[in-house]
Structure 1
Amino acid sequence: MAILDELKTDQEKAEELKAWWRQHGTSVVAGVGLAIAVLFGYEYWQKYQNQTMEAASAIYHQIQQDKEGLVPEDLLKKLQADYSNTSYASLAALDYARSYAEVGDYDKAIQGLRWVVDHGSEDAYKQVARLRLARVLVAQNKTDEALKIIDESFPTSYQALIADIRGDIYVARNEIDKARAAYDQALLDNAGTANELIRLKRDNLGKAATPASPK
């Protein structure tokens, strides 16, 4: 076959190429077009993603300029409306909640935290928001809601923090024995790391009452 191929004239080879192209040319063109479209589509998407992150970063940088004040609500809303899928929207909402919680406006703090829980782009931010939300609810004496949140599933690394919040909930309910047990668990889970605040809260509750011995 190879010898026959060599004996073919240029004209014959050209005719065979034309016949092959008539049969397969459409598929080849379509394949090349699709490859080009995918390439340019990917480059466009990458460019769009980069521009989106840069724009969101610029707004978040504006928010960060005044760390001592309240997070401007107009900037937060712009991030939430135009860049909700970026981490900057979640970070800004967490900052917003912190700034209002620090001045005792718990309703606005809850507003920011619930946005992250419902719309946050990453699970890590949602988990942080849920735990902070539980703390704010304790401050509002909404202990049932707070307890419901911390009874949800969390990664193992959050267990000490959850036990600490549980202790705060029981203190707010004046269930002191349960609070002691929760703080003890937090100290146990938090062994080897800084836990002075938990220790202080636990010590303030004193020792558990010793049951009276039967006579």
Structure 2
Amino acid sequence: MTDHNSGDESASDASHSDESTAGGSGGDESTTERTGDGVHEWRVLDSVVEYETGWYEGGYDLVEQPDGSRKRYYWAALPPAVVVVAVADDSLVMVEQFRPVIGEHCLELPAGLVEDGESYTTAGARELREETGFDPAGVSLLEEFWCSTGVLRHRRAVVFAEGLEPGLPERDTNEFLSVRAVPVEDALDVARREPANDATIEGILLAERDGLL
């Protein structure tokens, strides 16, 4: 994926950005990249938040690249999320819901945002209970990773839940979904049908690789 940027920045452009944009740090943070000539410092000359919704932010970093040029790298920062692979009676627990952002009904693994102070496993157990009513006896972390690194500052984890005890769901006011049981042997084929969901496919593949499905 190609990083989005607004083109070269001159020194005068960078100075103007520092003076005119609220939220700019004007800092001099850096990360490193190993190149053929050694290690180059990717200096962050400015970091600007241009948009806030209360649950995510959007903005850009003005970065000095290895060749000395400057570019704005735009990003959206979201809280971490967790995806739950849960099995009951040889079936994978999935949820079907309408996703207004893409205008499609999707069949997905249960998932949600991690709340402050929660671990991925605690958040996964909570999301599973809230969306499906199933209370797991145990939850283990399968993987944690960055998502869409060309544009997002967002981490996602996949957890595996087992020993499910049925109960009543406690859904949020914006959650209108139905619980579906998909036979384990059909789960990947079902997940790959349009509109396919990346987190669901990732979760199933990770669980299969670890011998859990």
Task: Provide the TM-score with structure 2 as the length reference.
Answer: 0.25
Higher strand share: 2
Task: Provide the TM-score with structure 1 as the length reference.
Answer: 0.25
Higher helix share: 1
Point out which structure has higher relative CO (alpha carbons under 8 A, 6+ apart).
2
